[in-house]
Chains A and B, each alone.
Chain A
Amino acid sequence: MAWFIRSKTPKEKLKVKKINIPEGLWLKCDSCKEIIYKTELDRNFRVCPKCSFHHRMNAYERIILLTDDESFVEKDTGIYPEDPLRFRDVKRYKERLKTYTKKTGIKDAVVCGEGTLNGRNVQICAMEFGFMGGSMGSVVGEKITRAIERAVNKKNPFITVSCSGGARMQEGILSLMQMAKTSVALAQLSEAKVPYISVLADPVTGGVTASFAMLGDVIIAEPGALVGFAGPRVIEQTIKQKLPEGFQRAEFLLEHGMIDMVVHRKELKNIIDKLLTLLR
């Protein structure tokens, strides 16, 4: 039966054969693996036109998505991290900071400022997952707190787009305290009766979920976003079981009453606008 085996080989080869794509022009969808034209993906808010998978956006893309053209003014750009613990694991924290600043062009994992959303003034904070996994240290905590304080003073609706692995280990207990700091600031926002819309983008876990991200008056998640307190790996290790399909995804959270809605990225701005109009 030697002929039978031979005939199978070329087929297998065909399967693993790499398709040569010029860098940057064509992309492979992270979910359905279809080849997408990059311009088409960008025009579609980085949502796969074939399977609707929401690819990650950087902080500025987030802000462009939610604010009117050229309305955004970035605030608190002068704040940058220091290394209070002189933290060192396999690499120095200072070194890591430099690497990520170079990579992302920003000083820490959040971009904050004010702009208009369909003509209405808003305070907006978007987290940058590309900067140390969007982790929250003193700078992220301070910038978000200041944005909340501006929202209180100017009576501007407050919007966050969270995308973070949680509190930043390299600033130790000070990172943990940022959870309290941002939540305490939100208590003031609530007293001032200023609306807070929290948008959850894949992924949000740990200290960010367990503080401001879950405290929105309205909580909106993107389709398929992973949202949880503990990461799936930690849970699997703890309970020594495989997790069910779809566990901790946006749709799962909606089903369990933890969020208000799951919204496609192209609808996001209009949905927030509608909510804010109704709340006015």
Chain B
Amino acid sequence: MAGQYLDFEEPIIELEKKIAELKSLSKNNGVDFSGEIRRLHRKANRLKDSLLSRLTRWQRTQLARHPSRPYAMDYISMMTEDFMELHGDRHFGDCHSIVGGIARLEEWSVFIIGHQKGRDLKEKMYRNFGMPQPEGYRKALRLMKFAEKFGKPIITLLDTPGAYPGIGAEERGQAEAIARNLIEMANISVPIIVVVIGEGGSGGALALGVGNRVLMLEHSVYSVISPEGCAAILWEDCKKVEEAAEALCLTSDDLFKLGVIDEIIKEPLGGAHRNPAATAGILRRVLRRHLQELTSIPPKDLVEQRREKFRNMGAFKER
């Protein structure tokens, strides 16, 4: 995963290189640089902290799409045991942009469903760059109903640029598939915990997003449209992505302030991609806390709570 970084991360990378150099120097030459190394480490940490807190919303978007950022399958393998992937929507096919299955997370058997992007070009194409076809949403719904039948909690991990805009997707009802998930998720009688782990791309993300709890990793984004799409439509200029990202208010802090999400999950220093294992550990502890709370709520109240939560979303005036 190392080796790929964004331009604003450069100072951190430089420092880390220096530290590595010093370490190898002291090892090979027997000279003690430990004081210097400690100093540089502290500096690197301060830098990570200050750099990431000063990012613009567009840079935050880039961070959420970071090529080294952990994807759904990474979290699944780091957080859970005995993951059994299940395939197919039983209507048409199996979409590789959405993965799902049963796993053990701490003391619970849970259903985990998430968008999946690819790491290298071959996998990216296999995963269709994380842009699901209608079959993906229908598979997700099948698994949610399966979970409901056996009373197992559901965890969804959101990370997609959006639902795929293609001829086949339209022919097979992309819009219907998303809409169906929204209404059906309102009926599911087991706990649903939604976590935005990277890019929450519009309706394609929301189709897995109707939960009792909606959480966001600190450096993820969630938006009605991508900054690129917004710039192209409203500014009629694809280069205005920075302005568009700024206007859209799509970061975890923005969404928390707008009352759309319940909690921001802090990432390790420098972001999830700098320490995937630690991020997975944090996420597991957060999920355990929510699972403990939600599994004690009667099914009827779970449905009620979820409906109430989305009923109240929006900002308008009335006189």
Query: Which residues of A pack against B, CB within 8 Å?
Result: 78-82, 84-85, 87-90, 137-139, 141-142, 145, 167-169, 171-181, 183-188, 190, 206-207, 209-215, 227-230, 234-235, 238-239, 243-244, 247-248, 256-258
Complex Cα gap A71–B162 (Å):
43
- 3 pairs of A and B residues whose beta carbons are closest in the complex: A230-B165, A138-B314, A183-B182
Instruction: Give the secondary structure class of B's interface.
Output: helix
What 1/0 flags go to B162-190 for Cβ under 8 Å of A? 01111101111111101110111011000
How many chain B residues have a CB neighbour from A under 8 Å? 57
User: Which residue of A is nearest B243, CB measured?
Assistant: A89
Say how far B314's CB is from chain A's closest CB, in angstroms: 3
Collect the chain A residues with CB atoms within 8 Å of residue B235's CB: 89-90
Q: Are A169 and B224 in contact (CB under 8 A)?
A: yes
User: Are A212 and B165 closer than 8 Å at their CB atoms?
Assistant: no
Interface-central residue, B175, B306, B307, by most chain A CB under 10 Å: B175
Say whether B311 contacts A247, CB under 8 Å. Answer: no
- Among the stretches B59-67, B201-209, B274-282, B284-292, the one at the interface with A is B201-209
Specify which of B183, B244, B313 is in contact with A186 (CB 8 Å cutoff): B183
Q: Across the interface, do B248 and A169 meet the contact criterion of CB distance under 8 Å?
A: yes
Do B248 and A85 touch (CB < 8 A)? yes
How long is the Cα–Cα vector from A70 to B271 in the complex, in angstroms?
61
Identify which of B176, B186, B247, B311 contacts A85 (C-beta below 8 A): B247
Residue contact B203 to A210, C-beta cutoff 8 Å: yes
Bound-complex Cα distance A9 to B306 (A): 71
By the criterion CB–CB under 8 Å, are B318 and A78 in contact?
Answer: yes
Select one of A88, A184, A210, A244 contacting B307, CB under 8 A: A184
A280 to chain B, nearest CB (A): 23
Q: Pick 20 A–B contacts, CB within 8 A, sort by A.
A: A85-B247, A88-B247, A139-B314, A141-B314, A172-B254, A173-B223, A173-B249, A174-B314, A177-B313, A184-B306, A185-B311, A210-B178, A210-B207, A211-B178, A212-B179, A215-B180, A228-B170, A235-B166, A243-B167, A256-B172
The CA of A119 and the CA of B92, in the complex, are separated in Å by: 44
Closest to A187 in B: B186
Within the assembled complex, what's the spacing in Å between the Cα atoms of A89 and B210?
30
A214 touches B179 (CB 8 A): yes
With A89-B235, A235-B165: A82-B315 Cβ-Cβ less than 8 Å: yes
